[in-house]
Amino acid sequence: MPKPLIITVAVTGAETTREQCPGLPITPEEIADDAARAFEAGASILHLHVRRDDGSPTQDKDIFAKAIELVRAKCPILIEVTTGGAAGMPDEERLQPVSLKPEMASLDCGSCNFGDEVLLNSLPQMRAYGKLMREHGVKPSFECFDLGHINNAKMMIDEGFADPPFHFSFVMGVPGALPATIKNLRFMVEDIPEDCLWTCIAIGGKASTLLHPEAIALGGHVRVGFEDNIYLGKGSIASSNADLVAKVAGMAKAAGRDLANVDEARKQLGIRAL
C-alpha cells in the first residue's frame, strides 16, 4: 500500500505572469493567503519563490523572510524555498533564502535548456549549494530536469550532502529538457535508489493530466501550482492554486490513496517539527 500522498504547491514560480493568470499571488501577503488556502485544500509543502512588487522574480532574502513569516502565521505547511531562482541569476543571489532555515530547499541537479534560456548548474555549484543547505539544516529536494541529473543527485548522496530519506523532484515537460511521458516517468522512478521519496512536477496542462494520475498510482508524490501549470481543465484557467490542489486531492481519493497532512509529510521526509 503506498504511503499517503504529499501534495506540494508551487504558488508563484519565476515565470508565470498576472496577464497569463489573474489569480497569481505576487506579494508576500498574497502568497501567504494563497498558501493557506492550498493547505486547507490538502497541500502539505509550499514550494516558495518570491517577486518584487512589479512582479519580477527575485531571491531577495528580506522578501523571503517576510513571506515565510506570514505563511507560518497562517498555517503549518512545510516550506521549500527555491534555489533555482530564475535563469541567469548568480549563485550568491540564488542561495539567499537558505540561511533563513526553511525545512527544505530545491537543489537543481544539472544543466539543461529551459525554453530559450539555459539552466546552469555545474557539479562544483551543486556541491556549494549542498554544503550550505547542510550547514543550515535544510533538506535538499534533488530537482532533476533530465535523466543524467539523477546521476548527479546520486553523487551528492554518495558525497554525504544529505541525510536519508532522500527526496527527488522530477521536472518533466520543460521545453529543451525531459519530455513529459509516462515512459520517461517510469524510467526516472526505476533509476533512483530504493526507499527515496519522489515528486512529479509536470509542466503544462496536458503533462499534468497525463502524469499526475500515474505518479499517484506508482506511489510517488505530486506538485501542482501556477509555477507549473495554470489550467484546471482544457482551456480553463484556474482561479487559485487551491483549485489545482483540490483537483489532485480528488484524483488521490478516486485512486484510494490517503492524503498526507503536515505531520505525516514530516514523518515521510524525516523532518522534525520546528
Binding flag, residue 169, Zn ion (CB under 5 A):
no
| Beta bridge partners of residue 45, listed in sequence order | 8, 78
> How far, CA to CA in Å, does 64 sit from each of 56, 57, 71?
14, 11, 10
Binding to Zn ion (CB under 5 A) within 21-60 occurs at none
Reported as type and span, the H/E element at residue 182 is helix 182-191
Q: Please, which residue, 27 or 82, has the CB nearer to Zn ion?
A: 82
| Listed ranges 24-32, 74-82, 150-158, 206-214: which one lies at the site for Zn ion (CB under 5 A) | 74-82
Site pattern 99..138 for Zn ion (x: CB under 5 A): ----------------------------------------
Cα 244 to Cα 257: distance, rounded to the nearest angstrom:
17
Reported as type and span, the H/E element at residue 247 is helix 241-254
Q: Please, which residue, 82 or 241, has the CB nearer to Zn ion?
A: 82
Cα 34 to Cα 25: distance, rounded to the nearest angstrom:
7
Closest approach of Zn ion to the CB of residue 13, in Å: 5
Q: Please, which residue, 80 or 257, has the CB nearer to Zn ion?
A: 80
Cα 37 to Cα 244: distance, rounded to the nearest angstrom:
11
Residue 174 φ/ψ region, left for φ over 0, alpha for ψ in the -120 to 50 degree band, beta for the rest: beta
Binding to Zn ion (CB under 5 A) within 75-94 occurs at 82
Residue of closest CB approach to Zn ion: 82
Closest approach of Zn ion to the CB of residue 47, in Å: 6
| Per rule CB under 5 A, count of chain residues that contact Zn ion | 1
Q: Please, which residue, 83 or 152, has the CB nearer to Zn ion?
A: 83
Closest approach of Zn ion to the CB of residue 228, in Å: 8
Closest approach of Zn ion to the CB of residue 72, in Å: 19
- Residue 10 CB-density burial (10 A; 0-12 exposed, 13-18 middle, 19+ buried): buried
Residues in touch with Zn ion (CB under 5 A): 82
